[in-house]
Structure 1
Amino acid sequence: MSGRTKIMRQLCGRLGYEFSNLDLLDEALTHK
């Protein structure tokens, strides 16, 4: 359980900026 959480945190740390950019893009397309 803790191992999976650690991996998820590492993925979020590395790809966090990509996810945030996708969120901004999704909002732009939605409000468009």
Structure 2
Amino acid sequence: MAKMSKGTRAGTRYKLQRKPRSRGLTKITM
């Protein structure tokens, strides 16, 4: 979870591409 704290916005977008399971995070990226 240390990576998320470093880039919440960028990390979320990158994580969504690798794990499209986080649907709630998609709203934050938009």
Same fold (TM over 0.5): no
Greater C-alpha Rg: 1
Which protein, 1 or 2, shows the higher relative CO under an 8 Å CA cutoff with sep ≥ 6?
2
TM-score, normalized by length of structure 2?
A: 0.28
